[in-house]
Structure 1
Amino acid sequence: MSTAPRSPPFRAEHIGSLLRPDELVKKRYAVADGSAKPDELVPIQEKAIRDIVALQQDCGIHSLTNGEYSRHQFWGTFFETLNGMEEINMREGGYDQSIFRQYAPDVKSFMHAKTIPNQVTMAAGKISHTGKSSFLPELEFMKSFVPKEQWKNIKLTLTSPSWYHFRYGPKKAYVKGVYDNDDEYFADLAKAYQTELRILYDAGLRNAQVDDPNLAYFCSDAMLDGWKNDPENFQTADEQFDAYLKFYNECFKRPDDFHLGIHLCRGNYVGSKHFSEGAYDNIATKLFNNLNVSTYYLEYDTPRAGGFEPLKHLPLNKNVVLGVVTSKFADLESKNDMVERVHKAADYVAEGSKQSREEALQRLSVSPQCGFASHAEGNALGYEDMRKKLQLVRSIADEVWAGQP
């Protein structure tokens, strides 16, 4: 493809998760603890999804998600539903902590409060797809009420291929004897991922976004130091990053008209916590040129993500969605300041591509830096604050790209 795809991504984007109504959160917890029946959740969830889609439309957002309202957390249940993958229900002190990379930013943060990270899933047998997609019901429900001409706008957020690999130490993402090495594990998982994408594509999905904090962790000096000092590692951090890109490209094989993007951030946990810091400079050249995605949704709301200089490496056939509006806190950014930042980013893209600012702007969009509720409880702001943030994103886009969706 010689030019970057467009619509999707749209000029005013958002990352996927949106604040959940209290009634929905409470009912899902009640179902989980057995105090409510699963069918009690359905009408509450369906109404909430209809309402949040209406909110996106009211705010002028064309890339429509279900707010991730049918999930408890952003990564969904893809891995947990694959053959061979087992979710281990662990109790405090009931499992060997040595399986985790203690310097993995999310694991390190979890360990401050408890002795184990959240959900733990690993390969206890050979991995394969069951033929049934856990994401498909989300798409089908959206199609049931979104007008057919807007189905191409529906965006599903998908699990990072390395979600249950990076957090574990070398060769610890799978039970001993199941796989001899990462290449075998990656090969089976890639086939399962391809099957998932094919099921969704055949059902009409044309717009997907992979949520991937793990690649951004390679921007963190603290993580890289931990990696370097880990005697169990059999490859350098650069070699692991390269292995991930190769693995991801196998996972992401798809038809040409299936728009796929990837979102990188540094954590978006309950109460607006982040896990790591570091500019994209360490990974930009490889990320932009070697990964088979069309769009990069990048966090750019605070200095923890560095400057726009790495955007000089963006190829002509790819887009960047600039996450300059924070989703973590209620304070509303200045529209003029954000427009200025978009133009500054465009200047770096233009420099790298030897283009004008106006030409470079054609490969850019704007969004919040992350979702508003990667986990059920959401970030430290209110529903109306979220609405104002989405309206601000739309307003910035209208200023920079007048008349474009």
Structure 2
Amino acid sequence: MKLDQVGSFLRPKILKEARENFALGKIDEEQLRSIEDSCIRDLLEECDKAGIYYLSDGELRRSWWHLDFYWGFGGIKKIKKEKGYIFKGIETRAEGIEIESKIECNNHPFLKDFERLMQIAKGLKIDTNRLKLTIPSPSMLLYMLFIRGDKNTEFNYYGKDFTKLKNDILNAYENFYKEFAALGGVYLQLDDTSFGSLCDYEFCALNEINADDICEEYVDFLNESLKTMPKNIMSAIHICRGNYRSRYVASGSYMKVAKKLFGELRVDKFFLEFDDERAGDFEPLKYINDQIAVLGILTSKTNESPSVEELKARVKIAAQFLNPKQIEISTQCGFSSTEEGNEIFTHSQWEKIKLLKQVLSELENEGFFS
């Protein structure tokens, strides 16, 4: 079995300082990129040494896990908002998106970033087929516009023409997929907090949404997008409940969306959060067909970790609902979905990776996956 990881890692101090200096005009973009490259090189080496098979740039070049990607589309601009996004007990930076013209994908900066990642990997003699890129899902953009955002300011170009909006989003993603594949990319992970929010009854009531209707719309929309993804790309989706400075947005079992989401979404892998009581039990796994379920059994939000035996026991409970051959493990989320990072120590993130590697090794030795 291969150890995977959701994506983001804590930003090194030198990188945070470089961003501050760049914002102040003390260094230029080329100097910033050089520091980013150095930090990513160190991260790749550390991840490879720790036993993580699928490697990414740790999202070290980004400010947000999702907004940076949308800002890279033509037609979407970065805006300052009056308020940030509300998490449990905290409000984020007040930044967002505004659609000012037709959404399209032309020379997306993430593709240049991935090219640099491939060059760094080659320099370290790491097989580039082990590299993955994480991006927000197509349905996340709908969620950002219609549920999580200010509809009056963020949806002013398309008006009421929802069909044209959806078609342009699909076309933009299709172009991105094809350009990613042309670079030699073979693994794309779609990150998504919409489905996790739909599992939260309080969230749905507050936003006056019908979870069943939204789930059906988003799964169907995602499947339309996945049809356009080149066949050689392995696709994954991370069903997140929110991650900002160790806080979350939603709670609730996946059971509310499982039949439609797990039963019908045509991805190769599901990254799912099962790290605490907020996540509910493993029964929703029974709706997964032949895909891999990457069980996020270890929190990325705090320094504390369960024992190896406790984590192994959780995986074995999950196997009551899913074939062990379809199970992989990871942390519940990334360590730094935004540049602020979770409120944990740097050494803690590596201790957690080491712990997962030990769990995986012991389960393999016990013949669990065979």
TM-score > 0.5, shorter chain as reference: yes
Aligned to 1:3: none
Mean Cα displacement is larger for which, 333-342 or 155-164? 155-164
Paired AA for residue 247 in structure 1? F
Kept in 2: contact 1:217–1:223 (CA 8 A): yes
Does the CA contact (< 8 Å) of 2:80 and 2:94 recur in 1?
no
- CA apart distance, 1:194: 0.8
* Aligned partner of 1:198 among 173, 178, 187: 178
Which of 133, 136, 153 is 2:130 aligned to? 153
Please, which of 233, 237, 259 is the counterpart of residue 258 of structure 1? 233
SS at match of 1:283: helix
| Structure 2 match to 1:277 | 251
Higher helix proportion? 2
Which of 292, 315, 318 aligns to 2:291? It is: 318
Structure 1 residues 149 and 56: CA distance shift in structure 2, 3 A: closer
* Cα-Cα RMSD: 2.3
Residue type matched to 1:163 in 2? M
Q: 1:395 aligns with which of 358, 362, 370?
A: 358
Q: How far 1:384 sits from its partner (Å)?
A: 1.3
Note if contact 2:100-2:157 (Cα within 8 Å) is conserved in structure 1.
Answer: no
- The residue matched to 1:189 in structure 2 has which SS? helix
Q: Compute the displacement of 1:110 (Å).
A: 8.6
Distance in 2 (CA, whole Å) between partners of 1:381 and 1:175 is: 37
Distance 1:328 1:313 in 2: 28
Contact 1:164/1:173 (<8 A) preserved: no
Question: Who is 1:298 aligned against?
Answer: 272
- Contact residue 193 and residue 251 of structure 1 kept, 8 A: yes
Question: Counterpart in 1 of 2:27?
Answer: 36
Distance in 1 between the 2:153 and 2:363 partners? 45
* Alignment CA distance shift 1:165-1:119 (3 Å): farther
Q: Deviations over 1:163-196 (max 9, x none)?
A: 3432444765754462433222111101100110
8 Å Cα contact 1:17/1:68 also seen in 2: yes
Helix, strand or coil: the match of 1:84? strand
Q: Out of 170, 173, 191, which is 1:211 matched to?
A: 191
For residues 19 and 176 of structure 1, the distance between their equivalents in structure 2, rounded to whole angstroms, comes to 35
Which of 105, 119, 144 in structure 1 is aligned with 2:95?
A: 119
Q: Hey, what's the Cα distance between the residues in 1 that align with 2:116 and 2:335?
A: 22
**Who is 2:112 aligned against?**
137
Unaligned runs of 5+ in 1: 1-9, 98-105, 350-359
Superposed displacement of residue 332, structure 1:
2.5
Encode CA deviations 1:97-135: one digit per residue, 9 max, x unaligned.
Answer: 8xxxxxxxx833399658xx63211322222222x1221
1:225-261 per-residue CA deviation (whole Å, 9 max, x = no partner) reads 1233xxxx7xx33222211112212222212221010
* Residues in 2 aligned to 1:60 and 1:77: alpha-carbon distance in whole angstroms: 29
SS in 1 for 2:77: strand
Match of 1:327 in 2: 300
Q: Quick one: which amino acid aligns to residue 67 of structure 1?
A: G
Tell me by how many angstroms 1:400 deviates: 1.7
Q: Return closer, same or farther for 1:313/1:279 CA change in 2, 3 Å cut-off.
A: same
Residue identity opposite 2:336 in structure 1: A
3-state SS of paired residue (1:401): helix
Structure number with the bigger relative contact order (C-alpha 8 A, sep ≥ 6) is: 1
1:86–1:121 CA contact under 8 A, matched in 2: yes
Supply the distance in 1 between the matched residues of 2:277 and 2:324 (Cα, whole angstroms). Answer: 22
Matching residue's letter, 1:290:
E
Cα distance, 1:199 vs structure 2 = 0.4
| Aligned partner of residue 80 in structure 2, secondary structure | coil
TM-score by length of 2: 0.91
**Correspondence 1:45 to 2:36:** yes
1:338 positional shift:
0.6
Q: Distance in 2 between matches of 1:33 and 1:242?
A: 46
1:353 aligned residue: none
Equivalent residues of 2:135, 2:188 under 8 A apart: yes
Q: Which of 244, 250, 261 is the aligned partner of 2:218?
A: 244
2:319 match: 346
Structure 2 residue runs without a partner (length 5+): none
The answer to whether the Cα contact below 8 Å between 2:270 and 2:293 also exists between their aligned partners in 1 is yes
Q: Check whether the contact 2:253–2:278 (CA below 8 A) recurs between aligned residues.
A: yes
